[in-house]
Each structure stands twice: as C-alpha cells, then as structure tokens.
Amino acid sequence: MAMAAIGLERHRLRTGKWPASLQEAAGLIPGGLRPVPSLGTPVIYTRLPDGGGWRLAAGRNTPPWIMPERVE
C-alpha cells in the first residue's frame, strides 16, 4: 500500500488534486499497480466523502490508511 500512496502523492503534486481512481495514478506508482504481496488482494482506493482526502485498504483484516486533505 505504501507504493500506491506514493503514486497518489505524485499525482497530487503534478495535478494539484487527488486522482478519481487508483488506475488514474497507476503510471506514477513505483513498480506499477499490483496486489498486496502478503495478501494477494488488490489495493482498494476510495475518496473520502468530503472529497478532500483518500482511504487505502487491502482487505477486511488490515487497517486502512487514511489521508485527510490537510494534515495539522
């Protein structure tokens, strides 16, 4: 999931906004868009309801990574 987060940040730095889908940032993800190695499941990317940040998850038993629009 760390590589996906890097790709999302690279997209934000280039365009000024988070991508609408993970596929939109796939070319900026180091090593490309692949399943989580330890689980074999795809990374699931969703935008937060307020439209300002995102959430990455890899399955039910793994904690999600959440990035709000602003980090204070």
**Tens digits of residue pLDDT in 12-58:** 999 999 999 999 999 999 999 898 888 888 999 999 887 678 999 98
Residue 72 lies in a domain: no
71: pLDDT strictly greater than 60 = no
- The count of domains in the chain is 1
| DSSP code at position 54 | E
Residue 22 lies in a domain: yes
Residue 11 lies in a domain: yes
Q: Are strands 54-57 and 65-67 parallel, antiparallel or unpaired?
A: antiparallel
Domain residues for the domain of 46 are 2-67
The pLDDT, as a whole number, for residue 70 is 60
Residue 39 lies in a domain: yes
Nearest to 24 by CA among 12, 36, 37, 41: 12
60: pLDDT strictly greater than 80 = no
